[in-house]
C-alpha cells in the first residue's frame, strides 16, 4: 500500500503531456496538445491534453482522466502500478505501508506475472555476463554478430543455461509461485507434477511493452541440434498478447516519433542489428503476421512506414499481405527489398552501418509502384496475366483512404501498365463500391440513438414539445457522461456539477440579511453556496453519479473543508476521473460546435461571470424541477377520480405555479442585471 501523502505527491508531480507523450504523438494547439486517440481508431486528431488542468480528453470516444487514469487504461496497469510508474519517472521515493498477508494475496495475478517476467529478464541477463557458460556461449555469440555492450543492455538480452530446471528452481527459491511461473510459460508443469524450464541453452530476447515492461521472451538456440526449434517463444498470457505487441517499439518509439518514419522488419535480430548501425526507428512484428492492432500502434507515432523485407519469395509475399492493411489504415507505405538471400541483419553485417543506411534510403520505393513493376515482370506480355494484374493493383489502390492519393496512384500505374487512366479509374470505382456494399451487409444494425422518452420517436426535427431536444446525433462524450438516456433535467444538473468541479474552490459574493435586518455582502466558496442552496430546497439529482459528486462536496463542506477538482483524481475512481475531466474540458471545447442555443448544450461562461452563473444555474435547476413536478401533478389529475385527491392536486399545482413565477422573476432579474 502506498501512503496517501505519497499518492498525492506522485499525482502532483505527473505532467500529463509527458506521460501521454510517451505513447501518443502530440502537437501543440494553443494552450493544449492534440493527437490521435489511442483508445479508438481515428484519423483526425480529437484527443486533447491540457497541461494546465493535468487531464486528457478524447472528443471522439469520450475517454478522459488524469495521468494515472491514462496509464491504467492504456497500459492496463493497476492503480498502484500506475502510481509506481509515475513515481519512477519523476524519481519520487515511494513510501509503502506494510502489506498484510491478505493484501499480498489480493495483489493481482497480472502484477505477479509482470514481476516474475521482470525477475526472469534480470536473471537471464546476469547469466549472460556473470556466468562462465553465459559468457563463453551467449555473450560470444552476440559479440560475433557485432553487438556492443550498450545495445545488449538496451535490449535486455540474456542467456539461459542448458539445464532442465535451473530457472524454475531459482525462481521458486526466490519466492515466486509455480502458478505464476506456469502462467507466464517460463516453466512447464507436466502431468506427473514434474517441472522444467521452457527455455534451455538459448540466448534470450525479452519482449517489452511500449512502456518497457517485460511481457515475454523469445529464445534462440545456438547448438546445431537437429530436432531443436531455432526459436522458442513465450506463449500468450494474461500480460502477453502477441497481436498487440511490436518487438522493439519500446526502444524505438522516440526515434520513430522524431524522424516521423518507422521501419518494419521481420526478425527481432534485425531490429537489434539496425539499432547497432544507428537506425533506431525500427520495429518487428516478430513471428506473427502483421495485425491491425500492431499497425495502429505504429500509427500513434507516425503515418510513414517503410517495410524492409527479405528478397526471397516468402519475403515478398509477406510484404504484399501487410501492405493492403497498412494502406487501409491510411499509412503511407514504402518498400525496401533486400537482394536475394539477404535480410537487414545479414546485409548490415556484410556491408556495415553506412552501407545499409544508404541502401535503405535509396531503395525505398512507393509500394504501389513497386508492386506494379514486380508483377509486370511476371506477366511477360501474357494478356490474361496482365488483366489479373490490373485487378490486383486496383484492389490495392482501393485500400488507400484518401481520394487525392488514390488518383495519384491511378496516374502512376496507368503509365507503368500502359493503360488509360479512365479504364483504371472505372475499375477502381467498381472495386470501392463493391467493398462498400459488402461492408454494409456485414455491419450490425445501428443501435437506436438516445431518446428522452420511450414513446417518442428519436427524431429531432419533428417539432416535439419536449423541454429537451431529442438529438439523434449528440456527440458520444455526452452519452458517455451518464451511460444512460439523457433525461429531462440532465442539462441543468450537469451545469451545477460542472460549476462545482470548475469553480468549487473559488469564491463568489452574495447579499444577505444580517441580524439587524440590513443587507450585507458576504463571500462564499462556490461549493458551499451551491450545497447550501440545494440542501435548502431538498433537491435530488436524477443522475446517480452527479448525486455522488454532489454528496462528496457536501460531506467535505460539513467537515469544514473545501475541495478542488484534483481531489477526485486521488480516489482511484476511473468513472469519476472521466466525468471530472469531461467537465473540466467542456469549458473550452464544446462551445465551438455544440454551444448554440438550438442544441441547448450547456457552455459554462468565462470565469468573471461565475457569480451570476452560479445563481442562474441554481434557479434554472429549480425551475426545471418545478416544471417537472407540475407535469407530474397534471398527469395525476388526468387519472384522479376521488374529489379529495383532485382538490389536493389542484392545490399543489397552484403552489408550484406560484413558485415557478417567483423563480421566473428571480431569473429575469439575474439575466438583466
Q: List interacting residues with Zn ion (CB under 5 A).
A: 37, 39-40, 58, 60-61
Radius of gyration in angstroms for the set of CA atoms belonging to the chain, rounded to a whole number: 32
CB contact set of 477 (below 8 Å; sequence gap of 6+): 57, 58, 59, 61, 62, 64, 582
- Minimum CB separation of residue 15 from Zn ion in Å reads 21
Beta strands in 406-518, from DSSP E residues, in sequence order: 507-513
Nearest approach, Cβ of 476 to Zn ion (angstroms)?
9
Instruction: Compare residues 170 and 244 and give the one whose CB is closer to Zn ion.
Output: 244
CB 206 within 8 A of CB 155: yes
Measured from the CB of residue 449, what is the shortest distance to Zn ion in angstroms? 19
Is the Cβ of residue 244 or residue 612 nearer to Zn ion in the bound state?
244
Q: How far is the CB of 300 from Zn ion (least distance, A)?
A: 12
Q: What is the DSSP string of 503-533?
A: HTTSEEEEEEE-TTS-EEEEEEEHHHHHHHH
Q: For strand 332-337 and strand 304-309, is the pairing parallel, antiparallel, or unpaired?
A: parallel
CB nearer Zn ion, residue 66 or residue 187: 66
| Comparison of 57 and 386: residue with beta carbon closer to Zn ion | 57
Q: How many CB atoms lie within 10 A of CB 146?
A: 15
CB atoms within 10 A of CB 294: 25
Rounded least distance, CB 673 to Zn ion, Å: 41
User: In the complex, what is the shortest distance from the CB of residue 48 to Zn ion, in angstroms, rounded to a whole number?
Assistant: 10
Q: Mention every residue, 6+ apart, whose C-beta is less than 8 A from residue 29.
A: 48
Helix and strand counts by DSSP (H, E) for the chain: 27, 18
For residues 56 and 338, which CB has a smaller minimum distance to Zn ion in the complex?
A: 56
C-alpha cell at position 414: 496507368
Q: Which is nearer to Zn ion, 37 or 326 (CB)?
A: 37
Cβ atoms within 10 Å, residue 138: 28
Largest CA distance in the chain: 105
Minimum separation from the CB atom of position 72 to Zn ion (A): 16
Specify burial of residue 4 (Cβ count, 10 A radius: 0-12, 13-18, 19+): exposed
DSSP symbols for 267-319: -HHHHHHHHHTT--SEEE-TTSPP-HHHHHHHHTT-SEEEEEE-SSHHHHHHH
Work out how close the CB of 262 gets to Zn ion at its nearest, in angstroms, rounded to a whole number. Answer: 22
Min CB(45)–Zn ion separation in Å:
10
Cβ-proximal residues to 23 (8 Å cutoff; 6+ apart), any chain? 38, 74, 75, 210, 211, 300
The dihedral over CA atoms of 68, 74, 77, 80, expressed in degrees to the nearest 10, equals: 0
Among residues 61 and 474, whose Cβ is nearest to Zn ion?
A: 61
Residue placing its CB nearer to Zn ion in the complex, 70 or 142: 70
Question: Residue 666 Cβ, how far from Zn ion at the closest point, in Å?
Answer: 41
* Complex with Zn ion: residue 397 or 581, whichever CB lies closer: 581
CA dist., res. 425 & res. 300, Å (int): 32
Dihedrals phi, psi of 655, to nearest 5 degrees: -60, -45
Closest to Zn ion by CB, 25 vs 396, is 25
Helix (H) or strand (E) holding 152: helix 149-154
CB of 113 vs Zn ion, minimal distance in Å: 28
b/e per residue 153-171 (b: at least 16 CB within 10 A): ebbbbbbbbbeebbbbebb
Find the shortest distance in angstroms from Cβ 475 to Zn ion.
Answer: 12
Nearer to Zn ion, 39 or 196 (CB): 39
For residue 32, the minimal CB distance to Zn ion (Å) is 15
- C-beta of 2 vs 61, nearer to Zn ion: 61
Strand order in the sheet with 32-35: 27-29, 32-35, 47-50, 55-58, 64-66
Alpha helix ranges (H) inside 518-609:
526-536, 544-558, 574-594
Nearer to Zn ion, 114 or 477 (CB): 477
Nearer to Zn ion, 58 or 282 (CB): 58
Closer by beta carbon to Zn ion, 39 or else 141: 39
Give Cα 238 distance to the centre of its chain.
19
User: Least distance (Å) from Zn ion to the CB of residue 582?
Assistant: 12
CB of 39 to Zn ion, least distance (A): 5
Residues 6+ apart with CB under 8 A from 280: 251, 252, 255, 274
Amino acid at each position: 500500500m502506498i501512503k496517501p501523502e505519497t499518492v498525492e505527491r506522485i499525482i502532483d508531480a505527473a505532467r500529463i503531456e509527458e506521460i501521454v507523450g510517451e505513447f501518443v504523438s502530440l502537437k501543440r494547439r494553443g494552450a493544449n496538445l492534440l493527437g490521435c486517440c489511442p483508445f479508438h481508431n481515428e484519423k483526425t486528431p480529437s484527443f486533447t491534453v491540457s497541461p494546465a488542468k493535468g487531464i486528457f480528453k478524447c472528443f471522439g470516444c469520450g475517454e478522459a482522466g488524469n495521468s494515472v487514469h491514462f496509464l491504467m487504461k492504456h497500459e492496463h496497469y493497476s492503480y498502484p502500478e500506475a502510481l509506481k510508474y509515475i513515481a519512477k519517472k519523476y524519481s519520487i521515493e515511494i513510501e509503502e505501508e506494510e502489506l498484510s498477508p491478505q493484501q499480498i494475496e489480493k495483489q493481482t495475478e497480472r502484477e505477479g506475472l509482470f514481476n516474475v517476467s521482470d525477475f526472469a529478464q534480470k536473471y537471464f541477463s546476469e547469466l549472460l555476463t556473470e556466468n562462465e557458460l553465459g559468457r563463453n556461449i551467449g555473450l560470444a555469440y552476440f559479440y560475433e554478430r557485432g553487438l556492443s555492450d550498450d545495445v545488449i543492455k538496451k535490449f535486455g538480452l540474456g542467456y539461459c543455461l542448458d539445464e532442465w530446471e535451473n530457472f524454475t528452481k531459482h525462481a521458486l527459491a526466490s519466492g515466486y509461485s509455480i502458478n505464476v511461473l506456469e502462467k507466464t510459460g517460463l516453466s512447464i508443469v507436466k502431468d506427473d507434477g514434474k517441472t522444467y524450464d521452457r527455455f534451455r541453452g538459448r540466448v534470450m530476447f525479452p519482449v517489452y511493452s511500449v512502456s518497457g515492461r517485460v511481457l515475454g521472451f523469445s529464445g534462440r538456440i545456438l547448438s546445431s541440434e537437429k530436432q531443436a526449434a531455432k526459436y522458442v517463444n513465450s506463449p500468450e498470457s494474461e500480460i502477453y498478447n502477441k497481436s498487440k505487441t511490436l518487438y522493439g517499439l519500446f526502444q524505438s518509439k522516440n526515434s520513430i516519433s522524431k524522424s516521423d518514419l518507422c521501419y518494419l522488419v521481420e526478425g527481432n535480430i534485425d531490429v537489434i542489428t539496425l539499432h547497432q548501425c544507428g537506425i533506431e526507428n525500427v520495429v518487428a512484428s516478430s513471428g506473427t503476421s502483421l495485425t491491425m492492432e500492431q499497425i495502429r500502434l505504429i500509427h500513434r507515432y507516425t503515418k510513414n512506414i517503410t517495410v524492409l523485407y527479405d528478397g526471397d519469395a516468402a519475403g515478398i509475399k509477406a510484404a504484399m499481405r501487410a501492405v493492403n492493411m497498412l494502406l487501409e489504415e491510411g499509412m503511407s507505405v514504402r518498400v525496401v527489398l533486400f537482394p536475394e538471400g539477404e535480410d537487414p541483419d545479414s546485409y548490415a553485417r556484410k556491408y556495415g552501418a553506412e552501407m545499409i543506411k544508404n541502401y535503405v534510403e535509396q531503395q525505398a520505393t512507393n509500394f504501389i509502384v513497386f508492386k506494379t513493376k514486380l508483377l509486370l515482370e511476371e506477366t511477360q506480355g501474357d494478356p490474361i496475366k496482365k488483366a489479373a494484374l490490373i485487378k490486383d493493383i486496383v484492389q490495392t489502390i482501393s485500400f488507400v483512404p484518401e481520394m487525392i492519393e488514390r488518383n495519384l496512384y491511378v496516374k502512376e500505374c496507368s503509365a507503368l501498365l500502359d493503360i488509360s487512366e479512365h479504364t483504371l479509374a472505372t475499375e477502381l470505382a467498381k472495386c470501392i463500391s463493391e467493398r462498400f456494399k459488402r461492408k454494409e451487409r456485414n455491419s450490425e444494425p445501428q443501435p437506436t440513438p438516445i431518446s428522452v422518452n420511450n414513446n417518442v420517436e428519436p427524431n429531432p426535427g419533428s417539432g416535439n414539445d419536449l423541454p429537451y431536444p431529442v438529438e439523434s446525433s449528440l456527440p458520444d462524450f455526452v452519452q458517455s457522461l451518464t451511460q444512460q438516456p439523457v433525461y429531462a433535467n440532465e442539462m441543468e444538473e450537469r451545469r451545477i456539477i460542472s460549476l462545482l468541479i470548475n469553480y468549487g474552490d473559488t469564491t463568489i459574493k452574495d447579499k444577505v440579511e444580517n441580524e439587524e435586518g440590513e443587507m450585507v455582502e458576504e463571500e462564499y466558496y462556490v461549493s458551499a453556496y451551491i450545497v447550501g442552496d440545494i440542501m435548502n430546497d431538498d433537491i435530488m439529482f436524477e443522475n446517480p453519479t452527479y448525486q455522488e459528486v454532489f454528496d462528496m462536496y457536501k460531506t467535505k463542506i460539513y467537515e469544514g473543508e473545501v475541495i478542488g477538482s484534483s481531489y477526485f483524481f486521488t480516489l482511484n475512481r476511473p468513472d469519476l476521473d472521466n466525468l471530472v475531466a469531461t467537465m473540466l474540458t467542456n469549458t473550452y471545447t464544446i462551445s465551438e460546435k455544440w454551444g448554440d442555443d438550438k442544441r441547448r448544450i450547456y457552455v459554462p461562461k468565462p470565469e468573471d461571470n461565475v457569480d451570476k452563473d452560479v445563481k442562474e444555474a441554481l434557479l434554472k435547476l429549480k425551475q426545471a424541477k418545478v416544471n417537472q413536478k407540475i407535469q407530474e401533478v397534471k398527469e395525476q389529475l388526468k387519472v384522479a377520480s376521488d374529489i379529495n385527491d383532485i382538490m389536493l392536486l389542484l392545490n399543489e399545482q397552484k403552489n408550484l405555479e406560484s413558485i415557478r413565477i417567483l423563480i421566473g422573476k428571480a431569473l429575469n432579474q439575474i439575466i438583466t442585471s
